[in-house]
Structure 1
Amino acid sequence: MLSEHQIKNSDYLIGCSKKEIIRLLGDGFNFYHDEVWTYELYRTWWGKKTILVVFFQNDTVYKKSIIKKYGKGY
């Protein structure tokens, strides 16, 4: 499993297949055929979430984004 620091500060995930992402991060609550997957990396005690968003094209990661938000959804 990758650390939060590795995920946030590198392009390590770029070029990985969906199977590799599952091996590294788990399947979470993502539907395999979706082109966008999300992973909650961290949640503070007051509800602020840090979310990794992984974008796929032809089942390969081409972009990732880290967002921080409060409340439900991503």
Structure 2
Amino acid sequence: MGLGLPFSYVTLKTGAPFSIDKSLLQNVIAYFLFGSLAGTLLFIPLNKFYYNRRFGSILIIYYVIFLVLAILIETNVIG
């Protein structure tokens, strides 16, 4: 996200396409970001645009799960 201009510049400058290596951590980051945004976009209208402590707690737990998973991937326990 936000890399369209730099990638376009490099492609126009060098004339050759380039590839981006994908890793397990990058996929986990993308899935957790999508899950967080989709969950929030569903929860807000269903709860009549009212945020409560429960929703905040769910987001914090979701973030902690993401952090634990990311640390396990980076320390080569998973993957």
What interval of TM-score do these two structures reach, taking the shorter chain for normalisation? under 0.3
Q: Which of the pair is proportionally richer in strand?
A: 1
TM-score, reference length from structure 1: 0.27
Return the TM-score normalized by structure 2.
0.26
Structure 1 or 2: larger helix share?
2
Q: Which has the higher contact order (CA 8 A, sep 6+)?
A: 2
Structure number with bigger Rg:
2
